Amino acid sequence: MPLSNEGNFQELLRYRAESGDSKLKEQLKTSVKNATYISKTTQNQLIECCAKEVIGIILERVKSARYYSIILDETTDMSHSLQLSLALCYAFDNHKREDFIDFVGVHHATFEPSTADTEPTVNGKVIGQLFLSLLEEMGLNLLDCVGTATDGCAMMVSNNCGAVLEIQKKSKNASRCPCFNHALDLSLSKRSAVSSIRNAIGTIKEVVAFFNASAKRNYVLNKVLKAQLGGIGETRWIE
């Protein structure tokens, strides 16, 4: 009989039932089809419940610390939708913490009027207002925000209509801190203009391809070095 995988959630439930959870096993066996509570809808609801619980704990910690900073970024995902990420930086138990809060689809926000009905206006002002509304929805005092960390794109740091400028209108104590890792990534991504670096990277890629193309060569390498070769991230300096 061929093996089948019905998804991580259902496979974990089956594993739990087969490991001795008699109540769960009985529930899965005797429940009618519309009351098993293992559908994708229920799974999403459980994930949302877990997310609310985790975010609630984080917000309680932030409110206890009082002062916090926000880490902002925007990117286009695989579905070509503009996404915003929000993380909070604060002190907890005498340690600095940076906790991710949420991804927000920009096109679900309220936009300024546009000349084309099908093309909403997305600019730094809109993004800044969206972040402010998120902070207010979470019950955070905007005056307790003491910093904003962003990359250096015009949408974020423009002196005319940047998101940081819009945030600082209400969070008057928030000073901007640029993302130094992002600046370093951009600098190193231009390294290919230096011929010696370009040649060295090319040699490394050829060596990686040489071993990865053969299971035997990869086996010998792993046996001798106790490690395997991975690819090189083009814009990830940690690689």
Claim to verify: residue 165 and residue 70 sit in the same structural domain: yes
Confirm whether 231 is domain-assigned: no
Task: Find out whether 229 and 208 touch, Cβ atoms under 8 Å.
Answer: yes
56 assigned to some structural domain: no
Range of the domain at 205: 188-225
pLDDT in tens, 186-226: 777 677 678 887 788 888 889 988 988 888 988 888 888 88
Mean pLDDT score across all residues of the chain: 82
- The pTM is what? 0.65
Q: Is residue 50 part of a domain?
A: no
The mean pLDDT of 102-122, rounded to a whole number, is: 62
Asked if pLDDT for residue 1 goes beyond 50, the answer is no
Asked whether residue 108 carries a pLDDT value surpassing 50, the answer given is: yes
Same domain for 112 and 78? yes
Quote the CA–CA distance of 1 and 25 in Å, as a whole number: 22
Residue 86 lies in a domain: yes
Q: Give the CATH number of the domain where residue 174 resides.
A: 3.30.420
Q: Are strands 175-178 and 95-105 parallel, antiparallel or unpaired?
A: unpaired
Paired sense of beta strands 68-76 and 145-150, if any: parallel
**Is the sign of the CA dihedral 129, 135, 139, 142 positive or negative?**
negative
Q: Tell me the pLDDT band of 52, cut-offs 50, 70 and 90.
A: very high
Pair type for strands 82-92 and 175-178: unpaired
Say if 239 falls within a structural domain: no
Q: Of 142, 139, 134, whose CA–CA distance to 87 is shortest?
A: 134
Statement to judge: residues 86 and 161 lie in one domain: yes
